[in-house]
Amino acid sequence: MSAERISLLAPAKVNLFLAVGDRRPDGYHDVVTVLQKLDARVADTVTIERADELSVVCEPAIDIPAEQNLAFRALLGLGALAGREPRFSVTLRKRVPAAGGLGGASTDAAAALVGACRLWGLDAASPEVTALAASLGADVPFFISGGTALYAGRGDTLVRRMDTPPLDLVIVNPGVPVPTPAAYAMFDRLLCPAVPTVDRMLGALASRDPRTIAAALFNNLAEAACDLAPEVAEALAFVTQSEGVLGALVSGSGSSVFGICEDAEAAEAVARAANTRPAWRASATAASPGGSVGGDSRFVSR
């Protein structure tokens, strides 16, 4: 009996290093970034079931039409690629904050692609599916492979994968969104200093030492995020000053911030303290290897 339904975890990410450069002729910016996948404590659940037509529902609901959801667009693209009608009912159980710099829409799209490929017997790691993923958003190819990786170009060109370091982290979202286009528009208005090369972070990752990695954290979009939403600056200061935090940073274009902690107990303590603040959402988590292709899934056949 063939599988009729599949559920996959769609984990979030943080940017351990993010250097945004000049705007390119295609309207995007040059980007060098080190992406790190998180474990299941900060993840959506994506359930795909065979149906009569394509539909996407979010729980809790988000204020965009289903047709604009990145998972919906991903399955339309996969259907065109495979020459098949994508007759799937998709449920996104959301735990990753929207417009939070953690890749929520991209990880959902990646999980939807992987799930549909499994139901159709396709290779989610094929060059064709990878190209489709890149066309949807810079982070989508990363979420298919996961782990720890260096990307360049507009953030969608894989340079190299690395061993995942042993990192205990805390994620704090201050309850306000920072849309990525707004962050980049603010970035273009600011006078940003020259950025460092990624070499220091790559050396830190090779050392596998959390303190060394924490000292190499960098994100030149952080100022733009903090200017757009002062709550981001407040959350960053809170995490930076918390006991047991080795280093803290805004993730991506915000609004979430993260801290690399001394150990799992410190991460849990910071998360508990942050969750006493009105509107804040916090969770302890850890760096995690692997991606949607490699597992993190549950099959339910009937």
Q: Distance between CA 41 and CA 218 in Å, rounded?
A: 24
- Residue entry with tokens 């549950």: 298
Q: How far apart are CA 33 and CA 159, in angstroms?
A: 10
Active site residue 209: no
DSSP reduced 3-state for 149: strand
Integer-rounded Cα Rg, in Å, for the chain is 19
The answer to whether the CB of 296 falls within 8 A of the CB of 38 is no
What the block records as the tokens of 90 is 């998709």
Alpha-carbon dihedral angle through residues 248, 250, 251, 252, given to the nearest 10 degrees: -150
Q: Which of 39, 44, 108, 139 is catalytic?
A: 139
For residue 94, indicate whether it is catalytic: no
296 and 302 in contact (C-beta within 8 Å)? no
CB atoms within 10 A of CB 291: 24
Q: Could you tell me if 130 and 17 are in contact, meaning their C-beta atoms sit under 8 angstroms apart?
A: no
The two three-digit tokens of residue 40, written as one number: 């299941």
Give the DSSP H or E segment for 248. Answer: strand 245-250
* Candidates 13, 37, 44, 168; catalytic one: 13
Q: What is the set of active-site residues?
A: 13, 139
